[in-house]
Amino acid sequence: MSEDFFQGYKGAALEMLKKFNVRVWGQAEVDTTRGMFKGTVLPRAENDDDQHIVLKVITGYNIGVDITTVLSMIETGYKKANYKIPEKEFPVTPGLPKVKLIGTGGTIASRLDYRTGAVIPAFSPGELYGAVPELADICNLETEKLFAVFSENMGPDQYKKLAVAIGQEIEKGIDGIIIGHGTDTLHYTAAALTFMVQNPPIPIILVGSQRSSDRPSSDAALNLMHAATAAGHGDIAEVMVCMFGPTSDEYGFLHRGTRVRKMHSSYRSTFRTIGDIPVATVTRNGVVPQKAIYNHRRKDTNVKITPVFEEKVGMLYYYTNMQPDMIDAMVDNGYKGIVIIGTGLGHVNKPIYPAIERAVKKGVAIYMTVQTLWGYVHMFVYDTGRDLMAKGIIPAENMLPEVAYIKLGWALGQTNDLEKVKEIMLTPINDEITSREPYNGYLIYQGGVREIEDFIKKVHK
């Protein structure tokens, strides 16, 4: 069982440990040409080199010892660490709403993974209560770990399973649902659930965190409290994403699942509603709707679950000099639907026209969205656009590219009749297409300008 004793070590470093009979979690004294080092041998991350042994020294710091400097090594003791979030039973308070937290992975709660040196998710009501005891003041929480995958590994199978699980919970009369999710593809899942779970009587809140919960300044706890408040007490019965409003610990936004997008690789306030305003803000004191119209919470259980998805659907991000073979390749590989993310108002270059014609002839559904993210596809403005429509590309209005992709997969999952698909695509279920873009739906201010600087000095972004 060498892997148990020498966790993560390989090659020369592994040989060195074996030679001197020193195990991972063993207390070791290592004599080297650079002097003596004492500490507990820690596991090594798989991708790190085989030239060093990691020690935790008495002061709690970790150091690496270069094996080429090692003269001798002895193990003087052994103590394996037990990394565990303290589990406490989640208390039930009469009168509080019953909320179900469905886990999918992600960093809402996480712990260290020695294999990769990164963090891995940890999750149970007890663990969560241990980490965020405030949750017990908001709701009576139940949790279920549906799967534990990183955000980038979420896909159609998971969307469908989630939709079914949500349907079952609604059937059982839950007051609200929270879905813990990694943030990278949170908006894909939000769109998928909006389509697969229609007319829900309760809030369905997707939540994640941008800073893992192993960090004191993590946004995880506050996001979770906001999500629990929105799910348990909020009146908005829609699929929504709940994440930080500003980067400050102040309030969260509830974004409609079809209009939300991750807009910064690392900011806490990364999720933004595109082309509209967020549905609501949320604090621990409650939900404050920002939009006048939304679906209200109901007492019934009349939800429509449609857990289908055609996997042979893809997206093509158009770039200058794109060659027709990009489209041909998808068609030849049996793709049934393609969402093109075009330039400007929804354009691609002429050389790929024949490929588009060929695709349409083969019965592939092609929809056009825009790289600008904000604004509508307008294919009547220029000849290019008219040509493309003539060749069978359907403009997807102001649907976000990722949302169009999800919706096309979901539509093709229901029917192969392209007319029906078109009807499904262009009939908005929850604002994935809006009939108008409000003036305050596009706000990207640029710094440096005095009035903006005055603004951000006063208002937290």
Q: Is residue 57 close enough to count as binding other proteins by CB under 8 A?
A: yes
Report how far apart, in Å, the C-alpha atoms of 362 and of each of 118, 392, 394, 407 are. 46, 11, 15, 21
Site for other proteins in 384-423 (CB under 8 A): none
Of 54 and 162, the one with the shorter C-beta distance to other proteins is 54
CA 263/CA 69 separation, integer angstroms: 47
Task: Using CB under 8 A, pick the residue from 3, 4, 77, 86 that binds other proteins.
Answer: 86
Contact pattern for other proteins over residues 222 through 251, marking x by CB under 8 A: x-----------------------xxxxx-
Q: Is residue 93 close enough to count as binding other proteins by CB under 8 A?
A: no
- DSSP for 290-350 reads -SS--PBP-SS---EE-----S-EEEEE--TT--HHHHHHHHHTT--EEEEEEBTTTB--G
Q: Shortest Cβ distance from residue 141 to other proteins (Å)?
A: 18
Site for other proteins in 127-146 (CB under 8 A): 131
Which range, of 174-182, 183-191, 205-213, 318-326, touches other proteins by CB under 8 A?
205-213
Task: Using CB under 8 A, pick the residue from 64, 126, 155, 289 that binds other proteins.
Answer: 64
Q: Is residue 449 close enough to count as binding other proteins by CB under 8 A?
A: no
Cα(first)–Cα(last) distance of the chain, in Å? 53
Q: Is residue 268 close enough to count as binding other proteins by CB under 8 A?
A: yes
Task: Using CB under 8 A, pick the residue from 136, 204, 206, 221 that binds other proteins.
Answer: 221
Q: Shortest Cβ distance from residue 88 to other proteins (Å)?
A: 12
Burial 384-405 (b: 16+ CB within 10 A, else e): bbebbbebebbbbbbbbbbbbb
Q: Is residue 214 close enough to count as binding other proteins by CB under 8 A?
A: yes
Of 155 and 246, the one with the shorter C-beta distance to other proteins is 246
Residues annotated as catalytic are 107, 183-184, 262
Which range, of 292-300, 358-366, 394-402, 452-460, touches other proteins by CB under 8 A?
452-460
Q: Is residue 84 close enough to count as binding other proteins by CB under 8 A?
A: yes
Q: Which helix (H) or strand (E) holds 115?
A: none
Structure tokens at 384: 């290019």
Site for other proteins in 170-199 (CB under 8 A): none
CB 222 within 8 A of CB 289: no
CA 48/CA 67 separation, integer angstroms: 14
Task: Using CB under 8 A, pick the residue from 56, 98, 291, 378 that binds other proteins.
Answer: 56
H runs (alpha helix) in 197-304: 220-233
Q: Is residue 19 close enough to count as binding other proteins by CB under 8 A?
A: no
Q: Is residue 35 close enough to count as binding other proteins by CB under 8 A?
A: yes
Q: Shortest Cβ distance from residue 368 to other proteins (Å)?
A: 34
Of 44 and 181, the one with the shorter C-beta distance to other proteins is 44
Task: Using CB under 8 A, pick the residue from 2, 62, 72, 76 that binds other proteins.
Answer: 62
Task: Using CB under 8 A, pick the residue from 27, 218, 281, 434 that binds other proteins.
Answer: 218
| Closest among 135, 148, 144 to 222, alpha carbons compared | 135
Residue 429 half-sphere exposure toward CB, CA atoms < 13 A: 28
CA 100/CA 343 separation, integer angstroms: 42
- Helix (H/G/I), strand (E/B), else coil: 24: coil
Q: Shortest Cβ distance from residue 206 to other proteins (Å)?
A: 21
CA 225/CA 231 separation, integer angstroms: 10
CA 412/CA 313 separation, integer angstroms: 8
* Longest Cα–Cα distance in the chain: 79
Q: Is residue 160 close enough to count as binding other proteins by CB under 8 A?
A: no
Q: Which residues bind other proteins (CB under 8 A)?
A: 32-37, 48-49, 51-52, 54, 56-69, 81-86, 111-112, 117-119, 131, 210-218, 221-222, 246-250, 264, 266-268, 447, 453, 456-457, 460-461
